[in-house]
Amino acid sequence: MIAAAVSVQATTNPIYTTLVLLVAALVVEAHGRRTLFAKAFPIMIGLAAVFGAVRVLLTVLTTHATGSTVLFRWPYEFTMPKVVGGFTIFGSFEQEPLVRSLFEAYAVVAFIATFAAWNAVVSHHEVLRAVPRAFHEPALVVAIAIAFVPSTIATLQAVHLADRARCGGTPVRKGRLRRYVIPVVEGGLERAIALAESMESRGLGHSRATREETRAASLSFIAIAAMGGAIVALISRARLAAGTLAIASIAMFVSATIVASRAHPRTRYRPKPITKTDQVIMAVCGISVATMLMFSLLNDASMSWSPHPLSWPSVNPVAVIALLGLAAPVVSRRVHDERHVQQTTESKAEGPTWVH
Amino acid sequence: MGSLTFDGVTFQYRDTNALALEVPHLGVDNGEFVLIVGASGSGKSTVLRSINGIVPHLTGGTFSGSVTVDGRSTRDNPPRLFADAVGFVHQDPEAQLVVDHVESDIAFALENLNHDTTSMRRRVEEVLDALAIAHLRDRSPATLSGGERQRVAIAGAMAAGPGILVLDEPTSQLDPQGAEDVLAALHRLNADLGTTIVLAEHRLDRAAPLADRVIIIDEGKVHQDGLPEVALAQYRGAPTVTQLGRSMGWSPPPLTVKVARNYARTYTTSRPPDVATASGPARITVRGLDLRYGDRTVVRVDDLQIAQGEIVALLGRNGSGKSTLLQALSALHRPHRGTVERIGRVAYVPQDSNPLFSTGEVRTDVMETLRLLGHSAKHPDAERSANAWLQRLGLIGMAHRNPRTLSGGERQRLAIAIVAVGGAETLLLDEPTRGMDAPSRDALETAVSDHAAGGGSVMLATHDVELAARVATRVVVLGDGDVVADGPTRSVLSGSLFAPQTLRVLPPLLTVEEATMWARPR
**Domains defined along chain B, listed by start:** 4-238 (3.40.50.300), 282-509 (3.40.50.300)
Q: Which of A190, A199, A201 sits opposite B52 (nearest CB)?
A: A201
Rounded to the nearest angstrom, the gap between the alpha carbon of residue B76 and the centroid of all alpha carbons in its chain is 35
How many degrees, rounded to 5, is the angle at CA A90 between CA A86 and CA A91? Answer: 90
- CA-nearest residue to A168 within chain B is B347
How many degrees, rounded to 5, is the angle at CA A268 between CA A264 and CA A271? Answer: 120
Q: What is the mean pLDDT of residues B267-281?
A: 81
Residue of A308, A293, A337, A328 lying closest to A16 (CA atoms):
A293
Q: Which residue has the higher pLDDT, A79 or A182?
A: A182
Q: Alpha-carbon distance B105 to B84, whole Å? A: 16
Does A343 sit within 8 Å of B140, measured CB to CB?
A: yes
pLDDT tens digits along A146-171: 667 767 777 888 899 999 888 877 77
In this complex, is the C-beta atom of B318 within 8 Å of any C-beta atom belonging to chain A? no
**pTM beyond 0.80:** no
Q: Alpha-carbon distance A312 to A205, whole Å? A: 60
> What residues in A contact B350, CB-CB < 8 Å?
158, 161-162, 165
**pLDDT at residue B253 is higher than 70:** yes
In this complex, is the C-beta atom of A355 within 8 Å of any C-beta atom belonging to chain B? yes
> What residues in A contact B141, CB-CB < 8 Å?
147
**pLDDT at residue B434 is higher than 90:** no
| pLDDT at res. A26 | 87
Amino acid symbol at A58: L
pLDDT tens digits along B408-421: 888 989 999 999 99
User: In 10 A of CB A240, how many CB atoms?
Assistant: 8
| Strands (DSSP E) found in B179-264 | 196-200, 213-218, 221-226
pLDDT tens digits along A50-85: 988 998 888 888 887 777 778 888 888 888 887 777
* Strands of the B426-430 sheet, one edge to the other: B337-342, B282-293, B296-307, B482-488, B474-479, B311-315, B457-461, B426-430, B346-349
| pLDDT at res. A270 | 76
Q: Which residue has the higher pLDDT, A347 or B303?
A: B303
pLDDT tier, B101 (very low <50, low <70, confident <90, very high otherwise): confident
User: In 10 A of CB A194, how many CB atoms?
Assistant: 17
**pLDDT at residue A125 is higher than 70:** no
Q: What is the mean pLDDT of residues B114-122?
A: 90
Chain A / chain B CB contacts < 8 angstroms: 233
Q: Which residue has the higher pLDDT, B461 or A139?
A: B461
Residues 279-298 of B with CB under 8 A from A: none
| pLDDT at res. A230 | 84
| pLDDT at res. B28 | 96
First-to-last alpha carbon distance for chain B, in angstroms, is 52
| pLDDT at res. A36 | 63
**What average pLDDT does the structure give for chain A?**
79
Choice among A29-38, A315-324, B76-85, B389-398 with the minimum mean pLDDT: A29-38
**pLDDT at residue B299 is higher than 80:** yes
| pLDDT at res. A28 | 84
| pLDDT at res. A335 | 45
Q: Alpha-carbon distance B180 to B55, whole Å? A: 30
User: In 10 A of CB A348, how many CB atoms?
Assistant: 11
pLDDT tier, A333 (very low <50, low <70, confident <90, very high otherwise): low
| pLDDT at res. B167 | 94
Share of chain B above pLDDT 90, in %: 65
Biggest CA pair distance of chain A: 87
Q: What is the mean pLDDT of residues B428-436?
A: 88
**Contacting residues for B167 by C-beta, under 8 A, at least 6 apart:** B48, B88, B89, B154, B186, B197, B198, B199, B200
Does A191 sit within 8 Å of B92, measured CB to CB?
A: yes
